[in-house]
Amino acid sequence: MSENAKKLSSSSWAENARTIAYALLIALLIRAFLFQPFFIPSSSMESTLLIGDYLFVAKYSYGYSKHSLPFSPPLFSGRVIGMQPERGDVVVFKQPIDNHTDFIKRVIGLPGDTVQMRDSVLYLNGKPVPRVRVDDFIYRDPTGNVRRIPQYRETLPNGVSYITLDMIRDSVWDNTGPYVVPQGHYFMMGDNRDNSSDSRVADSVGYVPFENLVGKAEIIFFSANGSASFWQFWKWPWAIRWDRMGKWVD
């Protein structure tokens, strides 16, 4: 190989390396400051979010904390450009117990609020949150069995409205004591009220510090029902939930 050819090859490798480095940097900046993809692994937010949904989380919604960055490096404490969430927001946050595991729930209680469940009805500051029965949620298990689950439309004091499930009559979570949300913290609940580890469970989630918020769930960009493995490409068209793609998270 001639000297010119070697120089040209070396220059090409250097240029490719720079391009890859720039691409990785841009991807990191987008993930840290704009949008982060998130996968729904559990049924705690049904029927709003289903197992197999992939969505984008807006990182800028509540400002930035150390949890905005991958692996939550302890570079600073608190939040920068902090903006408070609103009741009804669907939020990804770091589990307070380990400050590592990502959870996704709905903001129900703000700092200073009193939250309680009475006979499966949500109470905020001593007043029942209105709820109306709607069509049942149709649940199909992996074996094809069908179950109808009662659904209710709940409307918070600020007008945010969403669907909740009532899977178990007289469950342990249908009646609770009052929870008083501390300053700088939030009370989170899953829409699948009887199948959600959330702020009602003190040794699992409890009250969520403002610093632990990662971002607001915005839009579902992909969804699959789990009926096809990644290598079963011929089944993909029937495994994809086409109707959920591009759906905004309410």
pLDDT per position as a tens digit, 171-183 = 889 999 999 999 9
Would you say 184 and 209 are in contact if contact means Cβ atoms under 8 Å apart?
yes
- pTM of whole model > 0.95? no
Handedness of CA 99, 105, 107, 110 (dihedral sign): negative
Active-site positions?
Answer: 44, 105
CATH number of 34-239: 2.10.109.10
H or E element, residue 19: helix 3-33
Would you say 104 and 49 are in contact if contact means Cβ atoms under 8 Å apart?
yes
Beta-carbon neighbour count of residue 165 at 10 Å?
25
- Whether 186 has a pLDDT exceeding 90, the answer reads yes
The most confident of 29-43, 67-81, 102-116, 213-227, by mean pLDDT? 102-116
d(CA 153, CA 201): 23
Domain boundaries, the chain: 1-33, 34-239
- Whether 37 has a pLDDT exceeding 60, the answer reads yes
63: exposed, middle or buried (Cβ count in 10 Å: 0-12, 13-18, 19+): middle
